[in-house]
Amino acid sequence: MSNPLLSNFLTPFEAAPFSKIKTKHFIPAFKHNIRVALEEIDVIVQNNKTPTFKNTLEALENCGMLIGRNSAILFNLNSAETTDAIQKVSQEAAPLFSDFQNDIRLNKALFKRIKFVYKKEDRNHLNQEQLTLLEKEYKSFVRNGALLDKTSKEKLRIIDTELAQLSLRFGEHILADTQAFNLHVKKKGDLVGLPKSIIEMAYQMAEQKGLKGWVFTLDYPSYVPFMTYLENRELRKKMALAFGKRGFQENAQNNTEVILNIIKLRQQRARLLGYESHAAFVLEERMAKSEKKVKFFLDNISEKAHPAAKKEWMDMEVFAANKLGITSLKKWDTSFVAEKLKQAKFNLNEQELKPYFPLKKVLSGLFEIVERLYSLSFHETTETDPYHDEVIIYEVKKEGLFYALLYTDFFPRTGKRNGAWMTSYRSQKKDQRPHVSIVCNFSRPTKTKPSLLTFQEVTTLFHEFGHALHGILANTNYSGLSGTSVYWDFVELPSQIMENWCYEPEALALFAKHYETNETIPQKLIEKIKKAAYFQQGLQTIRQLSFSYLDLSFHDKNAHLINDVKLHEKSQIAPLQFIKDTPENCMSTSFSHIFQGGYAAGYYSYKWAEVLDADAFDLFLEKGIFDTQTASSFVENILSKGGTEHPMTLYKRFRGKEPDPEALLRRAGLI
């Protein structure tokens, strides 16, 4: 059979020809790709010449390029456009990749060559990027079992295979539970409070399902406004409980055993490698360095944020009792009451803002902001093949020349997981430009309105675009050090700093334009947005901290003692919660960041990077938000450099000093 995954793509930009790639192509291609890569590695090992950086490290860096490309295609499709067949193939592929990685990392002869270069080569002949790659590869081998005996290496193989499959299963369970639930509303009187656009969207969903009335789902564009605006408390309760039960029901998708297996296997793996815990293993390669330092960081913020959060909660309780007749706040009330309080406090209704944020204009304005800052231009192209007909692809140019491909995928659909993320189909390296993608779940256009974003969705788009810029502007020699291949507690800096432009009048003027009149958002609304930015920062901060503490607790030295996921979660989150626990719900069973994504023992990274971004954006505020010299420095020292140097070295080169932790607290209005 003709299998496009067996060779380089002969397409414009060498982009993936999605319409020609069939599910049946993946496994045969992976087996062939792996066989070829292992043969390439054997050539390195059999080389009789003295090991050098070039004939060992550089040669290894260039092995298995088709495996990386093809696995990126499969696993990205599994997140954004999955089917039962793709899920099955992903489960079949996971152990193949795990075995392949172990075949490399546990290759005694290969490690011997790398160790020789690491210990013996004259480092004066290597540049900084080469030194970093050498250090990274040597550590990677050691951290993946190269120093273990044969029996321990076999144990590691088994653990890695099981972990890869469990992670996939975790995500499949959440997706299945999310898609299994629909709330069918038959009476129009039950929709009081909902914006017209959300009602129209629910009506169209019902039509698609052949039902009369309105259908709401657990996808964010449906769920979030439902919980924020619907007056009917019982229906809010029904929806909230369904959302909180994902992965925590008496069905085949229950994730509690999956979690227990994951945390125990992670701990076994860490101890096999000589670490006290998975957290210790992970944090060794982070800016934070240790669990102790992370806890100190979290405790410090918690100490500042908790008094503010307590006051904000009391304000909510008083307001709910006096104005809304709700005397005991439940989880299905918090978004609703917070929105009502915000409206009363700032005279700001999120729905008042939405007409000023049509997706197309926001995206166009974002492109203009990026062009002003970084001299990039975006041109929609039909030369390349999208994986779904809703995906729009842009050719990114710099100084008139091709610089990257950008895939954009904005709306929820069956087979697409919730949330928003940036990913890559092809990494950047010398003589190769990247193909990156941003995937979101925004409100769809209706028959009468374009896609109108909430302000939170606007900041989400800017956030993911910041990640994309980290990939697009990458300019390194080795893909292993390129773009987002950085410490996890540094990777959120480029994304979170982009959110700041959403609050600046000079930037808003470029994209916040009414979808009907093209009127620029009035200054009075901008002032409300800026004031509202501080609204309930204490509660929001405490919420993020509770997730960070929970994450660490699943990966510390006592993780093996956890035998009840729900009870453990309750014990960890309770000190930072003002609301009573909901017994039939569990947050951990859908905590994809740590059980499906790469944030295990690293969820604190969001707050850590917020300190970096607040401090870094202070320089833009000082020099001007479109100051090209500051932007050029940010590209030169942060966005283009990837993981070629230690992140603190890069940051200080940009900022001239270490980040000031107080910058975040000042911005949040907590000090």
Q: How far apart are CA 20 and CA 188, in angstroms?
A: 46
Other CB atoms within a 10 A radius of the CB of residue 59 amount to 17
CATH class of 355-533: mainly alpha
E strand or H helix at 381, and its extent?
Answer: strand 376-381
Query: What is the number of alpha carbons within 13 Å of residue 236 lying toward its C-beta?
Result: 22
Q: Tokens standing for 24?
A: 């049946």
Strand order in the sheet with 376-381: 376-381, 392-398, 401-409, 435-439, 421-426
pLDDT tens-place string over residues 286-299 = 999 999 999 999 99
Alpha carbon separation from 77 to 74, 420, 429 (Å, rounded): 5, 14, 23
Contact 376, 355 (CB under 8 A): no
Q: What was the pLDDT predicted at 349?
A: 83
pTM: 0.90
Contact 573, 621 (CB under 8 A): no
**Residue holding tokens 């092995």?**
63
At residue 1 the predicted structure's pLDDT band, cuts being 50, 70 and 90, is low
pLDDT greater than 70 at residue 385? yes
Instruction: In the chain, list all ranges with CATH 1.10.1370.40.
Output: 355-533
Q: How far apart are CA 237 and CA 222, in angstroms?
A: 15
Q: How far apart are CA 371 and CA 73, in angstroms?
A: 29
Q: How many residues does the chain have?
A: 671
| Sign of CA pseudo-dihedral 266, 268, 269, 273 | positive
The alpha carbon torsion through 552, 554, 559, 560 (nearest 10 deg) reads: -160
Other CB atoms within a 10 A radius of the CB of residue 371 amount to 14
Which segment of 21-30, 263-272, 342-351, 563-572 scores lowest on mean pLDDT?
342-351
pLDDT tens-place string over residues 389-440 = 999 999 999 999 999 999 999 999 999 998 999 999 999 999 999 999 999 9
What's the distance, Cα to Cα, between the start and end of the chain in Å?
A: 65
Q: How far apart are CA 491 and CA 421, in angstroms?
A: 13
pLDDT tens-place string over residues 548-573 = 999 999 999 999 999 999 999 999 99
Q: How far apart are CA 571 and CA 550, in angstroms?
A: 9
pLDDT tens-place string over residues 73-95 = 999 999 999 999 999 999 999 99
Q: Which of 464, 504, 569, 610 is catalytic?
A: 464
Closest C-alpha among 38, 3, 37 to residue 23:
3
Contact 240, 227 (CB under 8 A): yes
E strand or H helix at 421, and its extent?
Answer: strand 421-426
Instruction: In the chain, list all ranges with CATH 1.20.1050.40.
Output: 4-147
Q: How far apart are CA 321 and CA 374, in angstroms?
A: 50
Q: What was the pLDDT predicted at 668?
A: 83
Q: How far apart are CA 352 and CA 231, in angstroms?
A: 18
pLDDT tens-place string over residues 590-629 = 999 999 988 999 999 999 999 999 999 999 999 999 999 9
Q: What was the pLDDT predicted at 351?
A: 84
Closest C-alpha among 27, 28, 22, 29 to residue 5:
29
Which amino acid makes up residue 474?
Answer: A
| Bridge partners (DSSP) listed for residue 401 | 398
pLDDT greater than 90 at residue 181? yes
Please state, for a pLDDT cut of 70, what percent of the chain lies above it: 100
Q: How far apart are CA 1 and CA 27, in angstroms?
A: 13
Alpha carbon separation from 509 to 350, 356, 449, 524, 613 (Å, rounded): 18, 10, 22, 13, 23
Tell me the mean pLDDT in the region 208-228. Answer: 96
Q: Tokens standing for 576?
A: 């930072």
Mean of the per-residue pLDDT values for the chain? 95
Which amino acid makes up residue 586?
Answer: C
Q: How far apart are CA 476 and CA 375, in angstroms?
A: 19
- Nearby residues of 646 by Cβ (< 8 Å), 6 or more positions away: none
Tell me the mean pLDDT in the region 334-338. Answer: 97
CATH topology of domain 4-147: Glutathione S-transferase Yfyf (Class Pi); Chain A, domain 2 (1.20.1050)
Give, as one character, the DSSP assignment of residue 491. T
Q: How far apart are CA 436 and CA 505, in angstroms?
A: 29
Q: What was the pLDDT predicted at 661?
A: 82
Q: What was the pLDDT predicted at 551?
A: 98
Q: What was the pLDDT predicted at 392?
A: 98
- Return the SS3 of 636: helix
464 noted as active-site residue: yes
Q: What was the pLDDT predicted at 502?
A: 96
Alpha carbon separation from 56 to 46, 110, 148 (Å, rounded): 11, 8, 21
At residue 534 the predicted structure's pLDDT band, cuts being 50, 70 and 90, is confident
| Sign of CA pseudo-dihedral 87, 88, 92, 95 | positive
pLDDT greater than 70 at residue 346? yes
Q: How far apart are CA 219 and CA 510, in angstroms?
A: 30
Which amino acid makes up residue 649?
Answer: T
